[in-house]
Amino acid sequence: MAEIILENLAHAYAPGAPYALKPLHMTWRNGGTYALLGPSGCGKSTMLNIISGLLCPSEGRVLFDGQDVTALDTGKRNIAQVFQVPVIYKSMTVGENLGFPLVCRGASPQKIKARVETVAERLGLTQWLKRPANALTADMKQLVSLGRGLVREDVAAILLDEPLTVIDPQLKFDLRRILKEINEEFRVTMVLVTHDQTEALTFAEEIVVMNHGEVVQMGSPTELFERPATEHVGWFIGSPAMNFLPAVRDSDRIVVPGTALSVTVPAALPDGELKIGFRPEHATLAPSGGDLEGTVGRIWFEGMDEVVGIDQGAHRVKVRVSGTSPARMGATVAVSVPGDRLCVFVDGKRLPSD
């Protein structure tokens, strides 16, 4: 297990080229669970490859427990890495695949057998231990690949590069639970790369949201949901995404024209494009009155809830309703939002609340 420090880190793939990973400085505590979340090309895999030693950064250093490992190759960093495409040794059985990292480190047959059986039981692989690994399905092969990363008890960190992509949805849920249980038991530092917010929110204690090579916010799932630092975070975290409506300054208030949505102008309001944002979960429907009115343009089902899309001028406002909504397509409805749930954004960045 290790504390990982990314010290003034940045990377460009060629001299003079734009940053693929913009300058950053952050610390990941020993035994924590982290997720790098963002769309394809945002820099999350670049960051993970720098941590693992597959890539040397253009700038800055990587520290494991205070030791500079920037120049060390992957084999000397004492990490385990699991990739999106399952990596298995085709000529070996499932059990031999799981135990191979311990064989390479000269562990005793007794220790290998005990550890393989423990990991296999956690992952539901016990009955497959003597089967050829090459004969398994893609999701089962990924289980073996994950197990090989977990079999070592002395790893500094386990790096997971979108490992759940090929796995059945129900198995994904079970694997996230298993990984969290293993982390709680052994306190091994785990870093998951994903573009799936559900994976990130249900796995990680802290999430690093990235966009265009930049870390735009790092925080707990609750912090990202309740206090998004940017419009991108408000849009990327939450399903459905946060509502954003254009706003203007009117005397001492920031208002959404044509509605009653407004907040007090903060002490220092910078120049820029104004928007007011709020979560669909924080809004409620009413037959009339409220803070804005619009026409129901869409209703869709999400688990135990329904989401109602209300067309308000050129914009669609989304409201999450517990159970079955009384709203009907084409009907005029009102939406109310508590004032303390409204966020103000200037040029895409949220202003801190007074």
CA distance 281 to 283: 6
For the cut 70, the answer to whether the pLDDT of residue 57 exceeds it is yes
pLDDT reported for residue 188 = 84
Identify the CA nearest to 347 among candidates 274, 286, 287.
274
- Residue ranges per domain, the chain? 4-231, 242-350
* pLDDT range class, residue 194, cuts 50, 70, 90: very high
pLDDT, averaged across the chain? 91
* pLDDT range class, residue 1, cuts 50, 70, 90: low
242-350 folds as OB fold (Dihydrolipoamide Acetyltransferase, E2P) (2.40.50)
pLDDT reported for residue 176 = 81
DSSP letters spanning 64-117: ETTEE-TTS-GGGTTEEEE-SS----TTSBHHHHHHHHHHHTT--HHHHHHHHH
The percent of residues above 90 in pLDDT, for the chain, comes to 68
* pLDDT range class, residue 261, cuts 50, 70, 90: very high
Bridging pattern class, strands 59-64 and 33-37: unpaired
Q: Please tell us whether the domain made up of 4-231 is placed in CATH 3.40.50.300.
A: yes
pLDDT reported for residue 354 = 56
Name the pTM for this structure: 0.88
Q: Which residue has the tokens 């693992």?
A: 52
Residue 193, token pair as written in the block: 């790369």
pLDDT reported for residue 242 = 97
Tell me the mean pLDDT in the region 197-208. Answer: 92
